Amino acid sequence: MELIFEISKPGRNAADVTASDVPAVNIEDAIGKKYLRTDLDLPEVAEVDLVRHYTNLSRRNFGVDLGFYPLGSCTMKYNPKVNENVAVLPGFTGLHPYADDESAQGNLQLMYEMQKYLSNIFGMAEFTLQPAAGAHGELTGIMMIKKYFEKKNEKRPLILIPDTAHGTNPASGALCGFETVTLRSNSEGGVDIDHLMSLMTKDVAGLMLTNPNTLGLFERNIEKVAQIVHGKGGLLYGDGANANAFLGKARPGDLGFDVIQLNLHKTFSTPHGGGGPGSGPVGVCAKLVNYLPVPRIIKTGHSYSWSGKFPDTIGRIRSFYGNFNVVVKAYTYIRSLGAEGLTHATEMAVLNANYIKEKLKPYFDLPYDRVCMHECVFSGKRQVAQNGVHTTDIAKRLIDFGYHPPTIYFPLIVPEAIMIEPTETESKETLDTFCDAMIAIANEAKENPQRVKDAPLTTPVSRLDEVLAARKPDVCWKRS
């Protein structure tokens, strides 16, 4: 498809500017010539061409509304339409962030209640909604841990991270000045307790644990893990990326987690927008409350206000109050489902994942064969051994069957990993036809491997040369 620049023609535009109702001023006099630009090379297209351009682009994109999107660890559940409708109410979209508190009582109430709901759901003392995404929440959580030890005058330069962890965990630790130490998994896919005991010293600030982990498995020894970490004065950090597995069933605060970050765009159904906006609230136990980012909402009687007066705070991690409009959608979701609905959603998410696991088990290697939580992880090892069909080939072939591929090659400890997260919003029929497609591909891999290796066959472009893209990076179009 042509680029917007390639369909541009001088003299056109798709948005006009209202004529001035005040006197024009001489710009050179008002601003000064040296401060003015002389070029402005933006696309020039008529409205109809603009709309067709982007509409055609949208047709080359796959979203949850088009079909099943079992991208592991991303919780691509259906995004309810009513949430989109209420989020664009002018009362929510129209307010300036510096509107006085009295004018923003609705927004403040919503955010305050959201913090209370999340505190209740996760068993934490308090939440902040300021982080803009999950990784931003991780950073915030780790900063609070850093502050906690700083206040206690303890030097703890290390942080433990399991080998199954998302890449954001070690990166967040490093962005906060910690040195990361890798913690091994045991044969069941859980934390290797002996290894944890040997690593957990007074130099270690804490452990960043995802539970259930990225194998989709619940950490059975969670109580022991928490005891070991807390026993040495460390803190237990929870990556809530997989929270869709336990909502209404167990609470991280009860399990011993001191900090947890969420992803509203996963667990609480807000659409991911092709890569954001997300929202990454962080919950803390009582001893970390003072370190939360500012400003925080204070409720006095029936009125709400912002306050920055928390001397031990880590400070601000974003301008204003976070991705407010994303919070509106997640709040709406919680209100729609209610307590029982959220719990039932968890149950159906876990049932769906186990159903897929059982149906595909005969056809793909299952490295950890136990009841899984919200996602299951297969390995494509067998297909590689048979005919050299790799997981990436299987993923690309799934596209031809009308599905978004699962997460692949993650977690890193599973070779040729295929990580499938169906979520609760998918019906038995959808799962059945998806499994049929996976089985058909497993058969193709045996009988007609080249077809799988050539996939996808139905997309506007075939497999792209990523090596070329990285070797000769072209990240901005240049007029030739």
Per-residue binding letters, 154-193, with other proteins (x by CB under 8 A): ------------xxx-xxxxxxxx-xx-------------
Taking the complex as a whole, the smallest distance from the CB of residue 226 to other proteins amounts, in Å, to: 11
Dihedrals phi, psi of 383, to nearest 5 degrees: -70, -35
Can you name the residues that pair with 417 across neighbouring β-strands?
Answer: 379
Give the number of residues in contact with other proteins, rule: CB under 8 A. 200
Rounded to whole angstroms, the Cα distance separating 387 from 274 reads: 34
Among 203, 230, 355, 439, binds other proteins (CB under 8 A): 355
Binding part of the chain for other proteins, among 1-9, 197-205, 382-390, 442-450 by CB under 8 A, reads 1-9
The DSSP-derived string for 387-406 is H---HHHHHHHHHHTT----
Rounded to whole angstroms, the Cα distance separating 291 from 389 reads: 50
- Which residues lie below 8 Å from residue 261, measured CB to CB, with a gap of 6+? 131, 134, 137, 138, 140, 141, 238, 239, 240, 280, 281, 282, 283
**13-43 in b/e burial notation, b at 16+ Cβ within 10 A?**
eeeeeeeeeeeeeeeeeeeeeeeeeeeeeeb
90 binds other proteins (CB under 8 A): yes
Taking the least distance from each CB to other proteins, the nearer of 345 and 418 is 345
417 binds other proteins (CB under 8 A): no
Among 289, 298, 351, 440, binds other proteins (CB under 8 A): 351
- Strand arrangement, sheet containing 407-408: 376-379, 417-420, 407-408
What part of residues 242-271 is at the interface with other proteins (CB under 8 A)?
246, 248-251, 254-255, 263, 265, 269, 271
85 binds other proteins (CB under 8 A): yes
290 binds other proteins (CB under 8 A): no
Taking the least distance from each CB to other proteins, the nearer of 102 and 194 is 102
Instruction: Answer for the pair 330, 129: CB distance below 8 angstroms, yes or no.
Output: no
Taking the least distance from each CB to other proteins, the nearer of 386 and 450 is 450
What part of residues 373-412 is at the interface with other proteins (CB under 8 A)?
373, 395-396, 399, 404-405, 407, 410
Per-residue binding letters, 22-41, with other proteins (x by CB under 8 A): xxxx-x--xxx-xxxx--xx
433 binds other proteins (CB under 8 A): no
Tokens of 391: 């997981």
Rounded to whole angstroms, the Cα distance separating 242 from 212 reads: 6
Among 68, 126, 128, 135, binds other proteins (CB under 8 A): 135
Among 115, 126, 132, 296, binds other proteins (CB under 8 A): 132
Per-residue binding letters, 291-330, with other proteins (x by CB under 8 A): --x--------------------xxxxxxxxxxxxx-x--
Nearest by Cα to 340 from 217, 247, 431, 201: 247
Among 193, 197, 286, 339, binds other proteins (CB under 8 A): 339
Tokens of 71: 């991208």
Binding part of the chain for other proteins, among 62-70, 231-239, 414-422, 436-444 by CB under 8 A, reads 62-70
Dihedral in degrees, nearest 10, Cα atoms 212, 216, 220, 222: -20
Taking the complex as a whole, the smallest distance from the CB of residue 233 to other proteins amounts, in Å, to: 21
Among 200, 217, 360, 442, binds other proteins (CB under 8 A): 217
Rounded to whole angstroms, the Cα distance separating 145 from 205 reads: 7
